[in-house]
Amino acid sequence: MKEMTSPEETYDLICVGGGIMSATLALMLKLIDPKTKILIVERLNDVALESSATWNNAGTGHSAFCELNYTPENSKGEIEVSKAIEIFTQFEKSKEFWAYLIQQKLLDSPKDFLRSVPHHSWVEGKDNVEYLKKRHQAMTSHFMFETMKYSEEVGTLKQWFPLIIENRDPNEVMAATRMELGTGVDFGNLTETYYRILEQHFDTPVVLEHEVLDIDPDKNIEWLIKIQDLNTEKVKHYDAKHVFIGAGGGALPLLQKVEIDEKEGYGGFPVSGQWLYCKNRAIIDKHHAKVYSKAGPDAPPMSTPHLDTRHINGKQELLFGPFAGFSTKFLKEGSFLDLFKSIRLDNLPSMWGVFWHNLPLTKYLIKQVSMDHEDRMEELRVFMKDAKSEDWELRVAGQRVQIIKKDEDEGGTLEFGTDVIHSKDGTITALLGASPGASTAVHIMIEVLQQAFPEKLNTKHGQEKLSKMIPFWNRDITEFEDEFKQVQKYCSELLELEENH
Ligand SMILES: Cc1cc2nc3c(=O)[nH]c(=O)nc-3n(C[C@H](O)[C@H](O)[C@H](O)COP(=O)(O)OP(=O)(O)OC[C@H]3O[C@@H](n4cnc5c(N)ncnc54)[C@H](O)[C@@H]3O)c2cc1C
């Protein structure tokens, strides 16, 4: 293998990874300044094959309509909705961006990646019903959730999601909410479309089957990137003014090689996902909803069970899950050594702290991993009383690497959100974590752009351009209710979402 030390080419930005995050950043930057020279490097033989692949995630457009973990009950018995408002606002930015792409004729058929699918929260038992009722009251007092419906009435619930109500004792105590503004997203298709736009309109193809091995400070331009062609094993070096590590589960191992103080103490804990997917078309066609319920007491928030209509490659599907799996790999196409190699002196206390303070989570994972098909079917039968084992099959989803962070008191904490890590000068940024994920890619990339490219954003042109692309990119929607509603209606029309709000 021949190593070259002098850089072969120079870029304004090199993105590591061909998932939705790099695609969103590259496209937003090209729209602001088409002259920006960008290189995108992907180790696999196509884009969107890891977490962004359609079957590898749940395809929920996270708006906090149905996910109960975003509206906790505080010690005074009040429902806190601030997180829900934050999540809702973030997803609206994605919708505004997609509507702009349609307006600019860069995207033409939104139904290929975005569908109206009502979002429901459904609970059983007196205490849970009480909670849901209070949640509904708290949420509907905010204009973004004012169209949310609530019902305890079996007939109504049967209309909303017949598969769940069929063959159930009519005296069972249950309640549900419904938001018709809910969406399902084919993130895989969307990611591929972004890359097509980048290639066809902005002359920015993705370099496939190349792996970024290392990123070092450079004496000429900010960063020297070492990239290996995985077919020839030849190593090349590139110079970049900015680097974005959008490598999904591969971000942590790469960040650990970069000489910046901000990476200190970070670790990762991999949790894989699995779904039961329905093979019986008659059953699939009977359900048109996303129905989220409550996660078990020791279960992490991303394990909330849900029965979901999906539209995959234009075809309606039905999935139930997720079930957690454990693998020491950080990427689905990764190495079993990933977790062990990520343990370093600087993150050892955080990793140990997390293990020690999360024993119930470890117990939960062990229980999940030891489940067989019948055990999983029993969980599905909580939703669908008469689900038949032969109608369902297991499918392995993507790999999430949850963030482990340094913590003064506990040594380390396990987090279920997303962190943007950046050097002080913003020339290198990395994205760790996985939730709420692809839904918030546009919001997260605005943050990355602000850190990495203030010189492009802080001009009159940059600000105006971004306001056209994402009208509420820097404004609080709660202060502009009427204008927000108009923008939302306009975007829904362009995105061909159903007019049920
Ligand atoms: C089970 C599950 C369910 C989910 N459900 C939802 C949901 O319902 N809604 C939602 O919004 N989000 C969801 N998510 C989260 C969402 O899928 C992710 O947040 C999103 O896809 C991450 O995109 P990414 O571009 O960062 O990573 P990825 O799509 O994983 O892409 C990273 C890419 O980097 C490449 N790579 C890694 N290392 C290197 C290297 N050194 N050199 C070159 N290339 C490299 C990888 O091969 C990969 O293609 C879910 C995730 C999982 C796992």
Least confident of 91-100, 338-347, 463-472, 490-499: 338-347
**Where does 285-394 have alpha helices with state H?**
338-341, 348-357, 359-369, 373-383
pLDDT digits (tens, 9 = 90+) for 367-413: 787 889 999 999 999 999 999 999 999 999 998 888 887 877 777 77
Find the 309 Cα to ligand 1 centroid distance in Å: 21
Angstrom CA distances, 6 to 211, 212, 257, 258, 289, stand at 18, 16, 20, 19, 55
Find the 315 Cα to ligand 1 centroid distance in Å: 23
DSSP 3-state of 404: strand
DSSP per residue, 231-271: TT--EEEEEEEEEEE--GGGHHHHHTTS--GGGTT-EEEEE
pLDDT range class, residue 241, cuts 50, 70, 90 = very high
Q: Which atom of ligand 1 is nearest to the CA of 434?
A: 19
41 lines ligand 1 (CB under 6 A): yes
Angstrom CA distances, 428 to 80, 90, 470, stand at 35, 23, 24
**What is the per-residue pLDDT for 261?**
83
pLDDT digits (tens, 9 = 90+) for 270-321: 888 899 999 999 999 999 999 999 887 767 767 789 999 999 988 999 999 9
pLDDT digits (tens, 9 = 90+) for 185-212: 999 999 999 999 999 999 998 999 999 9
Find the 248 Cα to ligand 1 centroid distance in Å: 5
Q: Which atom of ligand 1 is nearest to the CA of 44?
A: 47
Pocket probe mutation, ligand 1, options 45, 51, 395, max atoms within 8 Å of Cβ: 51
Q: What are phi and psi of 181, to 5 degrees?
A: -75, -5
- Alpha-carbon span 412 to 208, nearest angstrom: 36
- Is residue 229 within 8 Å of residue 210, measured between CB atoms? yes
pLDDT digits (tens, 9 = 90+) for 411-423: 777 777 788 999 9
pLDDT range class, residue 1, cuts 50, 70, 90 = very low
Helix pair angle (20-32, 187-202), 10° resolution: 40
- Alpha-carbon span 392 to 400, nearest angstrom: 24
- Alpha-carbon span 30 to 350, nearest angstrom: 38
Angstrom CA distances, 316 to 283, 297, 444, stand at 11, 32, 29
> N- to C-terminal Cα distance for the chain?
61
300 lines ligand 1 (CB under 6 A): no
- Alpha-carbon span 122 to 404, nearest angstrom: 31
**Eight-class DSSP state of 346:** T
More confident residue, 159 or 434: 159
- Is residue 15 within 8 Å of residue 246, measured between CB atoms? yes
DSSP per residue, 184-222: EE-HHHHHHHHHHHHHHHH---EE-SEEEEEEEE-SSSS
The arithmetic mean of pLDDT across residues 39-68, rounded, is 96
| pLDDT beyond 90 at 115 | yes
- Alpha-carbon span 425 to 440, nearest angstrom: 24
- Alpha-carbon span 363 to 339, nearest angstrom: 19
**What is the per-residue pLDDT for 219?**
78
Q: State what percent of residues in the chain have pLDDT above 70.
A: 96
Give the torsion sign (CA, 301, 302, 308, 309): positive
**What is the per-residue pLDDT for 218?**
84
Q: Which atom of ligand 1 is nearest to the CA of 60?
A: 8
Phi-psi region of 468 (alpha: psi -120 to 50; beta: other; left: phi over 0): alpha
> How does strand 418-422 pair with strand 428-433?
antiparallel
**What is the per-residue pLDDT for 501?**
45
pLDDT digits (tens, 9 = 90+) for 68-78: 999 999 999 99
> How does strand 235-245 pair with strand 267-278?
unpaired
**Eight-class DSSP state of 43:** S
Pocket probe mutation, ligand 1, options 22, 52, 215, max atoms within 8 Å of Cβ: 52
Find the 167 Cα to ligand 1 centroid distance in Å: 38
The arithmetic mean of pLDDT across residues 102-116, rounded, is 96
| pLDDT beyond 70 at 85 | yes
| Nearest Cα residue to 165 out of 182, 177, 153 | 153
Find the 259 Cα to ligand 1 centroid distance in Å: 24
| Nearest Cα residue to 43 out of 237, 323, 247 | 247
**What is the per-residue pLDDT for 348?**
80
322 lines ligand 1 (CB under 6 A): yes
**What is the per-residue pLDDT for 93?**
98
Per mean pLDDT, which of 5-14, 238-247, 320-329 is the most reliable?
A: 238-247
**What is the per-residue pLDDT for 195?**
98
Average pLDDT value for the chain: 91
**What is the per-residue pLDDT for 299?**
72
The arithmetic mean of pLDDT across residues 74-91, rounded, is 96
DSSP 3-state of 42: coil
**What is the per-residue pLDDT for 499?**
58
Query: Which residues pair with residue 227 across a beta bridge?
Result: 212, 236
Segment holding 128, helix H or strand E:
helix 126-140
Length of the chain as a residue count:
501
| Nearest Cα residue to 427 out of 207, 204, 259, 206 | 259
pLDDT range class, residue 4, cuts 50, 70, 90 = very low
Q: Which atom of ligand 1 is nearest to the CA of 399?
A: 53
Q: Which atom of ligand 1 is nearest to the CA of 248?
A: 27
- Is residue 428 within 8 Å of residue 258, measured between CB atoms? yes
| pLDDT beyond 50 at 67 | yes
Pocket probe mutation, ligand 1, options 50, 420, 448, max atoms within 8 Å of Cβ: 50
Find the 480 Cα to ligand 1 centroid distance in Å: 33
- Alpha-carbon span 175 to 275, nearest angstrom: 25
